[in-house]
Structure 1
């Protein structure tokens, strides 16, 4: 199972991060422990939304979409 997730920074609620992982709990822990350099400055993080995919390629495509301009607008309005 692959998870596409959106994190929200608790220190800066306007800051979000989109990612893809096999283990959601472990990945959130890494974000909050500063292991992920792109999210270390805006800790702590909480999971805002996540979706589970059985198809890896679809998960990759959806993550890529959420990182696009129209995907960010979709996530802001619908997720």
Structure 2
């Protein structure tokens, strides 16, 4: 199985966090920061900064973690992950 990552980006421009999952964090960050290729809402937050990338052994586990983080709807929860890592 390929390793997958949950990543958290931050945009100072719009003061927002973005949580996603990917196989290649560097490539995904590059996409979010490319105004030519990025046609999703994150385009308005350029530049995005990678705050943390958390490795998972499968895409399924990464998706579950991504959904869990998003379901918390909490900046405080996201900041806690950034400061102390993933603990679930």
- State TM-score, norm by structure 1: 0.84
What's the counterpart of residue 16 of structure 1?
17
What's the counterpart of residue 34 of structure 2?
33
Gaps of 5+ in 2: 83-88
Paired residues of 1:2 and 1:53 also in contact (CA < 8 A): yes
The count of corresponding residues between Structure 1 and Structure 2 is 78
Change (3 A) 1:36 1:62: farther
Deviations 1:25-68 (CA, angstroms, capped at 9, x unpaired): 11000000031412001110010111011122211100001111
Q: Runs in 1 of length 4+ with deviation above 3 angstroms? A: 70-73
Whole-Å separation in 1 of the counterparts to 2:41 and 2:12: 15
Q: Which of residues 52, 55, 58 in structure 1 aligns to 2:61?
A: 58
- Cα deviation, residue 10, structure 1: 3.0
What's the counterpart of residue 44 of structure 1?
47
Largest Rg, 1 or 2: 2
